[in-house]
Amino acid sequence: MADNRKMWSDLGMNLELHDQLCEVLPQAFGDVFLSQENRPEAMDYYNMVVADIHGIRPAELIEHQKKGGKVFGTFCVYVPDEVIFAADAIATGLCGGSQFWVPGGEKVLPVNTCPLIKASVGARLDRTCPFFRIADMYIGETTCDGKKKAWEILSEDVPVYVMDLPQMKRAKDVQAWAEEITALKDQVEEFTGNKVTAEKLAAAIKLINDKRRALDRLYNCRKSEVLPISGTDALVISQIAFYDDPARFAQMTNKLCDELEQRIRDGVSVVPAGTKRIMLTGTPLAIPNWKLHNIVETSGAVVVCEEMCTGTRYFENLVDETKETVEDQIQAIAERYMKINCACFTPNHGRIDDIFRLAKEYKVDGIIDVNLKFCNLYDTEGYFVERAMKEAGIPVLGIETDYTDSDAQQLRTRISAFVEML
Ligand code: BJ8
């Protein structure tokens, strides 16, 4: 702890304000996670990572910087980590999932901006998150309007490089994305002084694919009727995936999966047979946003899948590992990333197809369509999502929420009523 304080102070953090966050986080984690029964033993690793969330990984990133390495902060699952790791740099997710950071964002952004953006900007400008301090450069993208303008504000305080994400999926858009990835490669090479060779890119593709394979294995366990892990635990694993060391994360997640697969064989479930299975779809749940999972799982149901960026959108589809030139590898990376179905694309029918497929694979009883307040994209797309589900006879509940706890009681009432009627 003393070492952490020195590190935070060296990072120029606002220690007084940060102390307030350190006071509430362990309590929140204890309430939501440690109160669960029959957790897998291998969750110990993730407990430890969250318990020292602003200590262990930040210290590793600083070690990397001391050896001359660079750290890039990212905010979206379209930004390809492969290119960053191939330049001997580290990518770390930076999205803010706590109300704690929102007021800082509101000092410079309109109040009616989505909490994810407000929290991300607040975490940087208030100097209360080590990850936001450590990153040498942020990589933004042109996904939603709120983010586009937020990059301009953040760039007054930290170098920001913005990738221009196409918003349709025609062949020429995939091509344009491949060109953007090439431009990112050039930028990363210049910033790090390291060349991205075909050999290094192949290793980075394998590294990130291995992380995806581990998450896919975890999610496969959640398809089982014998449910070996809660949705709340699976969510925090998905959240940690964004900033943990990818090789270690894959190794620890595979270890957890060994235990989960054994549980399935032994018939050890975390919920009684017949518990209603819920899938969440919608906007991402950045760490430490555990509110909805906690409400669902203390209302007699269980979350078995997230069609979200903190969920299936992050790990589904692998990058082709057989390409041998940087050009072909980048093309393969572009093709893989353009399979993600975010509401910033028009049209985005693929997402509805995904929801149908996942609902079947995970044997869900009902779907909750989650929208972060003021996210116009997902809010509007909810019209199609909910209509399609209703037409197919899949029960769906649309909700809108933010990071505050003010609506928790009301959400609990609505979610309990929804579960009751399944
Ligand atoms: S691929 S979901 S991570 S853009 S919730 S900030 S869209 S106003 S986060 Fe996203 Fe990439 Fe899409 Fe995923 Fe804007 Fe909406 Fe806020 Fe959002």
Token pair belonging to 186? 């050039």
Whether the CB-CB separation of 112 and 374 falls below 8 Å is answered with yes
367 C-alpha vs ligand 1 centroid, how far in Å? 20
77 C-alpha vs ligand 1 centroid, how far in Å? 9
Q: How far apart are CA 227 and CA 190, in angstroms?
A: 47
DSSP secondary structure string for all residues of 66-102: HTT--EEEE-STTS-HHHHHHTT-EEEE-----GGGH
Residue 94 banded pLDDT, cuts 50, 70, 90? very high
Token pair belonging to 298? 């203390």
Average pLDDT, the chain: 97
Backbone angles phi, psi at 260, to 5 degrees: -65, -40
Whether the CB-CB separation of 355 and 346 falls below 8 Å is answered with no
Q: How far apart are CA 322 and CA 48, in angstroms?
A: 36
164 C-alpha vs ligand 1 centroid, how far in Å? 14
Whether the CB-CB separation of 263 and 228 falls below 8 Å is answered with yes
Residue 325 banded pLDDT, cuts 50, 70, 90? very high
Ligand 1 atom nearest residue 344's Cα: 12
pLDDT of residue 253 exceeding 70, the answer is yes
Q: How far apart are CA 298 and CA 294, in angstroms?
A: 6
Mutation test of ligand 1: which of 164, 341, 348, 375 has the most ligand atoms closer than 8 Å to its C-beta? 375
State whether residue 339 is helix, strand or coil: coil
Closest by Cα among 22, 28, 26 to 51: 26
Ligand 1 atom nearest residue 309's Cα: 13
The angle, 0 to 180 degrees and rounded to 10, between the axes of the packed helices 231-240 and 246-266 is 160
pLDDT of residue 160 exceeding 90, the answer is yes
Ligand 1 atom nearest residue 145's Cα: 14
Ligand 1 atom nearest residue 372's Cα: 5
pLDDT digits (tens, 9 = 90+) for 201-241: 999 999 999 999 999 999 999 999 999 999 999 999 999 99
6 C-alpha vs ligand 1 centroid, how far in Å? 34
Reported ipTM = 0.94
Using alpha carbons only, give the angle 250, 255, 261 rounded to the nearest 5 degrees.
115
Q: What share of the chain in percent tops pLDDT 70?
A: 100
Mean pLDDT of 342-359: 98
pLDDT of residue 1 exceeding 80, the answer is no
Return the pLDDT at 164.
98
Return the pLDDT at 2.
62
State whether residue 213 is helix, strand or coil: helix
Lowest mean pLDDT among 20-24, 134-138, 402-406: 20-24
pLDDT digits (tens, 9 = 90+) for 11-42: 999 999 999 999 888 888 999 999 999 999 99
Mean pLDDT of 265-277: 98
Residues 6+ apart with CB under 8 A from 417: none
Residues with CB under 6 A from ligand 1: 76-78, 114, 116-117, 143-144, 146-147, 283-284, 309, 340, 342, 344, 372, 375, 377-378
Return the pLDDT at 26.
87
pLDDT digits (tens, 9 = 90+) for 45-82: 999 999 999 999 999 999 999 999 999 999 999 999 99
145 C-alpha vs ligand 1 centroid, how far in Å? 10
Return the pLDDT at 3.
87
121 C-alpha vs ligand 1 centroid, how far in Å? 14
Residues 6+ apart with CB under 8 A from 350: 169, 339, 341
Residues 6+ apart with CB under 8 A from 250: 210, 211, 213, 214
Minimum CA distance residue for ligand 1 atom 14: 144
Mean pLDDT of 315-341: 98
Minimum CA distance residue for ligand 1 atom 8: 375
Residues 6+ apart with CB under 8 A from 171: none
Residue 95 banded pLDDT, cuts 50, 70, 90? confident
Backbone angles phi, psi at 293, to 5 degrees: -60, -40
Closest by Cα among 383, 361, 46 to 223: 361
407 C-alpha vs ligand 1 centroid, how far in Å? 22
